[in-house]
Chain A
Amino acid sequence: MLSSSSLLQFASHNGMPIWVLNTSIALIMSLVVFALCGLGVLILVYMERKVAADMQLRWGPMHVGWHGVLQLIADSVKLLSKEDIFPRNADRWIFRLAPVLVFLPAFIGLMVMPIGPHLVVQDLNVGLLYVLAVPAIGVAGVIMAGFGSYNKYAILGSLRSAAQMVSYEVPRALSILGVVMIAGSAKLTAIVGTQHAWYIFLQPIGFVVFLVSTLAETNRVPFDLPETESELVNGYHTEYSGTRFLFFLFGEYIALIAGSALAVVLFLGGWHGPGPEFLAPVWFLIKMFAIIYLAMWIRWTLPRFRIDQVMDLGWKVLLPLALLNVLITGLIMVL
């Protein structure tokens, strides 16, 4: 929490109870995070299109604004003003609730991410478990989207997505265990605080397993089986358009932001970097965008897996590797 001494003094001076101060700070901070998320998603979509174009020797969006920077504003206005199409046989409530349930957990999961020494909305003791558990609720949203749409492609897509996300949760959580063992805490600020040598050097296997399973969790190529456009039209959001589709897009990109931020916090030294302390968030953002660029690079250079290959990789390669990593870390720490 941000309640620094001057703020506490201000509160006690004006007869304001501590919980009012804390609640209002938390509310303001979550609004700020929400605004930053919106901005971040705009930047990410623009970046994705430019990176894709670069990989394929194209220009990408060029017409709206300087080098197409306003293209995304135009696209959002188009999506927001589109007609709200509702399939006739769709389950009314589930169809409407699904986009929210995909977006909201991903966004709430960001609340414990420390981007600077004191820049964190809510520093939980179980922060690490929180970032794993809360975004996992989004899987229910994906299943609801598939089920509520009354569409065979949507159902197949959401089944694949659920299977994939549940499977990769296991190696992902286990790959983090090594970091928790070294840091001795599940508090994200404590993990960054003890991280004078980046954990990527101490936990190389853990980092690779974490990165691959994060890509699978966020449904990105080569793991975008839920929305394979060549077989399933567009997977679980086939029936969605306009604002609801925008929510899915938001949810996906926020999940990518959260995954990269978590990789930075756990393995790349978080906000640590040369220079004075106020540069900490800048270092954090630079590292985060490096990971995001890596994810985009992978997306536009690798072909897609088959669904059985995805499952094989998760259970037969990543899970044993993560367990091995835990075992090695434990042995080294004991000896």
Chain B
Amino acid sequence: MNDIITYIIFFGLSAVAIISALAIITRRNLFHAAMFLGLLMLVVAGFYFLLDADLVGIMQVFVYVGGVIVVLLFGIMMTSQMTNVRMVSAIKQKVFTILAVAGFVALLVSVFTKVNLSVSNAAVPKDTTSLVGKLFMTNYILPFEVMSVLLLAALIGAIVIARQEVKQ
């Protein structure tokens, strides 16, 4: 019984994900596209919750929906056409776009047909949060620290760019 419900939720989420992903690229209004991107991020968080990965799911909501989307909307509002609600994105260079998309799809298909997806037989861990924390501080300390240094560099870089004062 539980399996059927999981399937129903999975296919429901997938349908919303595909529809919103299509809407992102077909909407001409940038703001609407960003809203659909937010919906897509929420749906991806839903997938994580379905897989019992609660920490990753909540981080998806925290970072992508609460952070990235908000900053994205912020950026759209800050652009020069702020007063004009009807902002439009247009596709120029149609041939190259189609070529790039076709190449990307071919790459994805080749990856999916060649890679053998292995499934672990181990039981699903109950409390992922403390487990992830411990692994970050023991086995994966180097990547963790490298990432934090990278983020620090990005932070300082942002401040340096924002600080540039206009010379009279």
Q: Which residues of A contact B (CB under 8 A)?
A: 17, 19, 89-91, 93-94, 97, 124-126, 129-130, 132-134, 136-137, 139-140, 143-144, 146-148, 150, 152, 155, 158-159, 162-163, 166, 169, 185-186
Contacts and interface: CB of A to CB of B under 8 A. Distances in A.
A150 B59 CA distance: 33
15 contacts: A91-B31, A97-B35, A125-B127, A126-B58, A129-B55, A130-B58, A134-B61, A137-B61, A140-B69, A140-B73, A143-B74, A155-B77, A159-B74, A162-B74, A166-B71
Nearest to B128: A125
Nearest to A94: B31
A94 B58 contact: no
B33 interface: no
A162 B78 CA distance: 12
Contact of A155 (B2, B65, B66, B82): B82
Nearest to B70: A139
A304 B128 CA distance: 43
Contacts of A124: 54
B58 A140 contact: no
A129 B62 contact: yes
B1 A137 contact: no
Contact of B77 (A129, A133, A136, A147): A147
Contacts, number: 86
Nearest to B55: A126
Contacts of A93: 32
A89 B71 CA distance: 24
Interface of B: 1-2, 5, 29, 31-32, 35, 38, 54-55, 58-59, 61-62, 65-67, 69-71, 73-74, 76-78, 82-83, 85, 126-130
A250 to B, nearest CB: 20
A136 B42 CA distance: 13
Contacts of B70: 136, 139-140, 143, 162, 166
Contacts of A146: 77
A185 B127 CA distance: 10
Nearest to B73: A143
Interface of B is mostly: helix
A84 to B, nearest CB: 20
B129 A186 contact: yes
Nearest to B82: A155
B85 A147 contact: yes
Contacts of B85: 89-91, 147-148, 150
Contact of B66 (A125, A139, A159): A139
Contacts of A140: 35, 38, 65, 69-70, 73
A133 B61 contact: yes
Contacts of B32: 93-94
B66 A136 contact: yes
B54 A125 contact: yes
B129 A147 contact: no
A185 B59 CA distance: 16
B69 to A, nearest CB: 6
A137 B2 contact: no
A175 to B, nearest CB: 16
Residue in B5, B54, B128 whose Cβ sees the most chain A Cβ within 10 Å:
B54
Contacts of A186: 129
Contacts of A159: 74, 77-78
Contacts of B77: 143, 146-147, 155, 158-159
A98 to B, nearest CB: 10
B82 A133 contact: no
A143 B38 CA distance: 13
Contacts of A158: 77
Nearest to B69: A140
A134 to B, nearest CB: 6
B58 A129 contact: yes
Given A94-B35, A159-B78, A169-B66, 15 more contacts: A19-B5, A90-B85, A94-B32, A97-B35, A124-B54, A125-B54, A125-B127, A129-B55, A130-B58, A133-B59, A136-B61, A140-B38, A147-B73, A158-B77, A159-B74
